[in-house]
Amino acid sequence: MQLNDCLLIGDKGYLSADIQLNLFDEYNIKLVTPMRKNQYNYQQQPYIFRKSRKRIETLFSQLCDQFMIRRNYAKSFEGFKTRILSKITALTMIQYIHQFVYHRNINNIKINLI
């Protein structure tokens, strides 16, 4: 799948001017990143981008904290894929139950289901 003519929300690690210029010149992709402490001439991101980033960051922190996604003792690549997929599937199911059964915020996964 090739991305063209779009807006990409990136991390602070992708703040390189070379990367941003390369993405824009070759694929017409505008890379939007959060502000670094020492960054000058920064334009504030729209609220919808900040809200989207917060949801993504919350999801990744939950995968790391509650599901211990960094701790993986798989012996093969197939085992690695299976473990990662099972952790992501479990998180997705909990979010689904929160949203459509209990009508709660989907990111509050520490709350008991019952």
45-87 pLDDT, tens per residue?
A: 778 878 888 888 888 888 888 888 888 888 999 999 999 999 8
Tokens 């059964």, located at residue? 101
Residues 37 and 67 in one domain: no
The pTM assigned to this predicted structure is 0.61
Tokens of 27: 């694929």
Residues 53 and 27 in one domain: no
Residues 99 and 71 in one domain: yes
Q: Which domain holds residue 28?
A: 1-44
Question: For residues 23 and 9, what is the distance between their CA atoms, to the nearest angstrom?
Answer: 12
Which has more pLDDT, 51 or 44?
Answer: 51
Residues 39 and 54 in one domain: no
Q: How many domains does the chain have?
A: 2
Q: What is the Cβ-side half-sphere exposure of residue 78, based on CA atoms within 13 angstroms?
A: 0
**What is the pLDDT, as a whole number, of residue 38?**
66
* Predicted confidence (pLDDT) at residue 43 exceeds the cutoff of 90: no
- Report the b/e string of 33-70 with b at 16+ CB within 10 A: bbeeeeeeeeeebeeeeeeebeeeeebeebbeeebebe
Residues 71 and 99 in one domain: yes
Residues 35 and 73 in one domain: no
